[in-house]
Amino acid sequence: MSTTTRTVLLAVAVLGALAAPSAASADAVTDWNTTLIDAQTIAAVPGPPGTRQAAIVEASVFDAVNGIRPRFTFVHVRPAGPRFASRDAAAVAAAHEALRLLLPAQAPLFDARYAASLATLHGSARSIDAGLQWGTHVADEIAAWRANDGSAAVLPPYVIGTDPGDWQPTPPAFVLTPAFRTAGVTQPFGLLSPSQFRPPGPPALTSPRYAAAFNEVKEFGSLNSTVRSPAQTQTALFWASDSPTALWNRVAQQLLRRHHASLLGEARVLALLNMAQCDGAIGVWEAKNFYDTWRPITAIRAAAGDGNPATSPDPAWQPLIVTPPFQEYPSGHAGVSSAGAGILAGFFGARTSFFLTSPAFPGEERHFTRFAAALNDVADARTFAGIHFRTASVDAIALGQHVAHFLRRTMLRPRDGHRHRRH
């Protein structure tokens, strides 16, 4: 089955699920988190914009739920919901409103899911109505706050570099300007600046470290590699089949169910997860813009000019998967995955067992007994795919870990009087 066919079939399946939601949903928070993931799949939302959308939705849900009887510090909207209001109703309304604003083309689907969610709510009409009004208000406030966050900024024209190591347009599209440049100037949710955890930069082209990374991706990441095993090929294809947002939100739901988290606990985990992934993407793209480095396909074809005697050119070299149209260092997937995994490890423990799934590979589960093993798998995948030097993934994972640690220490902290309560 081709990638295009698989994508079409996946979208059709998801469309049916959204258009006819089941009457019995898990709960308001996780049900609408699933709706978020499905909607992004249908719309084919790319990585960095997808992390921003998910962070807006889940921040709205958290501030709506927490704002009725607050237990934690807020993201943006001060707690002011009526104490008698339904938290479930607030979560439903916040997610529905945020998604309608972010993905207006899917409004009829969100409205259908909204009607189904309302049928599951319990409580008085007064309580539900108050929750719905408060949740809608919170989502509107957060959307207004993020409207001028720099994600739509107009940047100076991009100038393609001419030195060895500079990013160059890559086949087949040969896009002349790297994609998602504005992600690197977007206002973070929790970081002090996009460059707060900028990584040290790729190894010098003349260094042994660069030669080792070059030769590894040249050998294992080639389209027609004779050393890459079928299992390694599957690893590369699996991690390329879905966004970090979707992959790690599914893991979060899995762990929240296992630990029987409360509604507020779910909202807090999902908000921190998605804000960390967004800030991770912002940090990664800030570094991509700053270092502006070439991809393996460019490096391998032009190795005669890199000044390193331990590398050799192959003008016909091609990667296993098509090279994304933006700079190589650091790895976006690795950095965003690391930020998300760091949040989940903080809540559930670094040695937690879990599995990853992708709708593009029905029936396949990738099992891990610790989060670090999954991140190593990401680094392998990007190398086996032929689109990253391993050094770009290693440094991106470190960046993501810094982001997660900083957000865990500074955001959605217990309020005075609630430090020892469990949610």
Contact in structure between 317 and 304 (CB atoms under 8 Å): no
Contact in structure between 202 and 329 (CB atoms under 8 Å): yes
Instruction: Work out the average pLDDT over 176-180.
Output: 98
Nearest to 354 by CA among 232, 229, 196, 248: 248
Indicate if the pLDDT at residue 421 is higher than 80.
Answer: no
Sorting pLDDT into bands at 50, 70 and 90, what band is 22? Answer: very low
Instruction: Work out the average pLDDT over 141-166.
Output: 98
Looking at residue 26, its pLDDT comes to: 64
Q: Which residues have C-beta within 8 Å of that of residue 242, sequence separation ≥ 6? A: 358, 359, 360
Query: How many residues belong to the chain?
Result: 423
Indicate if the pLDDT at residue 13 is higher than 90.
Answer: no
pLDDT digits (tens, 9 = 90+) for 342-394: 999 999 999 999 999 999 999 999 999 999 999 999 999 999 999 999 999 99
Distance CA 255, CA 15 (A): 26
pTM of the model: 0.93
Which residue stretches of 20-124 are H helix? 28-43, 47-66, 87-102, 107-118
Instruction: Specify the higher pLDDT residue, 16 or 324.
Output: 324
Instruction: Work out the average pLDDT over 41-47.
Output: 96
Looking at residue 10, its pLDDT comes to: 43
Looking at residue 416, its pLDDT comes to: 77
Instruction: Work out the average pLDDT over 89-118.
Output: 98
Q: Report the amino acid identity of residue 215.
A: N
Instruction: Work out the average pLDDT over 157-179.
Output: 98
Query: The tokens 């066919």 sit on which residue?
Result: 5
Residue 322 exposed, middle or buried by CB count within 10 Å (0-12, 13-18, 19+): middle
Which residue stretches of 147-262 are H helix? 208-220, 230-240, 244-258
Backbone angles phi and psi of 368, in degrees to 5: -140, 150
Contact in structure between 217 and 295 (CB atoms under 8 Å): no
Cβ count within 10 A of residue 208: 11
Cβ count within 10 A of residue 151: 18
Q: Tell me if residue 36 falls in helix, strand or coil.
A: helix
Contact in structure between 55 and 278 (CB atoms under 8 Å): yes
Instruction: Work out the average pLDDT over 6-17.
Output: 41
Indicate if the pLDDT at residue 12 is higher than 90.
Answer: no
Domains and CATH numbers, the chain: 3-146 (1.20.144), 181-410 (1.10.606.20)
